[in-house]
């Protein structure tokens, strides 16, 4: 596994400082004003239970190819009465470091019942939490679909498990889902697949645009 210092060295090699937004990254909210952006790590309602390092604004940045493909998904979703509901996009390396510090503190289990009720905390690193994340390369997005309620507000549809529920129920093709929950997941995957995204089988919400432009570079600019 490549070290953090190695990743920062790659940034320098690209002529990008740790605090610069790369020229080929796009602000998805500006590109797609109808997308519902609700960055989960900006506040405390997440598995860490606190605002995560590097998140200072409710903004979604993605590498341009992924952002352009996501625009196609949003157009297709809106045609069927849905909108994309985004939980996370580009993720600074400092945020991943924050996750790793949290995971190492085995005494802090305050979010266990909500996010990992059937796993011990020391089992989260690996399949769910990693020292380096594809999100930091700019081609990965965590998202769901939303519909408008009677008051016109967008609400996420029922996917059978919440975002960042670290549990087999979040696996693609998990058993125990209702027919509607299965259909909702399949619709999201179909929309994303049609635009060149591939789902991560452990997490129904986790998609990476193929092929990712950056494969060994992990960016660390702050979301602001």
pLDDT tens string 183-198: 999 999 999 999 999 9
In this predicted structure, the answer to whether residue 19 has a pLDDT above a threshold of 80 is no
pLDDT digits (tens, 9 = 90+) for 143-170: 999 999 999 999 999 999 999 999 999 9
Is residue 113 assigned to a domain? yes
Mean pLDDT of 106-135: 96
Could you tell me if residue 120 is inside a domain?
yes
Q: Is the pLDDT of residue 1 over 70?
A: no
58 found inside a domain:
yes
Please check the confidence at residue 18 and state whether its pLDDT lies above 90. Answer: no
Whether the predicted pLDDT of 6 surpasses 60 = no
For residue 20, the model assigns a pLDDT of 87
Is 135 assigned to a binding site? yes
What pLDDT does residue 154 have?
97
User: Could you tell me if residue 222 is inside a domain?
Assistant: no
203 is catalytic: yes
Find the CATH number of the domain harbouring 155: 3.30.1380.10
Of 56, 131, 189, 203, the active-site residue reads: 203
**142 annotated among ligand-binding-site residues:** yes
Q: What distance in Å separates the CA atoms of residue 220 and residue 222, rounded to the nearest whole number? A: 6
Residue 17 lies in a domain: yes
Please state, rounded to an integer, the average pLDDT across all residues of the chain: 92
Instruction: Name the percent of the chain lying above pLDDT 90.
Output: 91
Q: Is residue 155 part of a domain?
A: yes
Is 108 inside a domain boundary? yes
Alpha-carbon distances, residue 52 vs 119, 150, 199 (angstroms):
22, 33, 24
Residues with Cβ < 8 Å from 149, sequence gap 6 or more?
155
Cα distances (Å, whole numbers) of residue 176 to 5, 171, 172: 43, 11, 12
Query: What is the pLDDT, as a whole number, of residue 135?
Result: 97
- pLDDT of residue 11 exceeding 80, the answer is no
- Contact by Cβ (8 Å): 84, 70: yes
pLDDT > 90? residue 12: no
**In the chain, what percentage of residues exceed pLDDT 70?**
92
| Contact between 206 and 199 (Cβ < 8 Å) | yes
Domain annotation covers residue 215: no
Q: In total, how many domains does the chain have?
A: 1
**Is residue 151 reached through a cis peptide bond, with omega within 30 degrees of 0 on the bond before it?**
no
Query: Using CB atoms within 10 A of its CB, is residue 224 exposed (0-12), middle (13-18) or buried (19+)?
Result: exposed
Alpha-carbon separation of residue 138 from 22, 62, 120, 166, 199 (angstroms):
10, 5, 30, 22, 15
Domain extent for 14: 4-209
Mean pLDDT of 111-116: 98
The 8-class DSSP code of residue 224 comes to -
């Amino acid at each position: 596994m490549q070290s953090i210092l190695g990743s920062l060295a790659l940034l320098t090699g690209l002529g990008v400082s740790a605090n610069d937004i790369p020229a080929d990254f796009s602000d998805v909210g500006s590109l797609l004003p109808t997308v519902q952006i609700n960055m989960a790590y900006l506040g405390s309602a997440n598995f860490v239970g606190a605002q995560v390092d590097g998140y200072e604004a409710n903004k979604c940045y993605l590498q341009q190819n992924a952002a352009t493909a996501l625009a196609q998904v949003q157009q297709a979703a809106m045609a069927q009465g849905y909108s994309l509901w985004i939980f996370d996009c580009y993720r600074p390396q400092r945020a991943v470091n924050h996750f790793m510090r949290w995971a190492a503190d085995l005494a802090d289990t305050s979010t266990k019942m909500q996010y990992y009720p059937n796993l011990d905390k020391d089992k989260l690193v690996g399949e769910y939490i990693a020292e380096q994340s594809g999100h930091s390369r700019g081609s990965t997005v965590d998202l769901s679909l939303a519909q408008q309620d009677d008051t016109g507000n967008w609400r996420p549809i029922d996917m059978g498990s919440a975002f960042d529920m670290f549990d087999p129920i979040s696996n693609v093709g998990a058993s125990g889902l209702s027919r509607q929950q299965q259909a909702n997941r399949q619709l999201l995957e179909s929309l994303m697949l049609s635009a060149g995204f591939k789902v991560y089988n452990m997490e129904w919400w986790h998609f990476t645009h193929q092929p990712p432009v950056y494969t060994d570079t992990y960016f660390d600019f702050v979301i602001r």
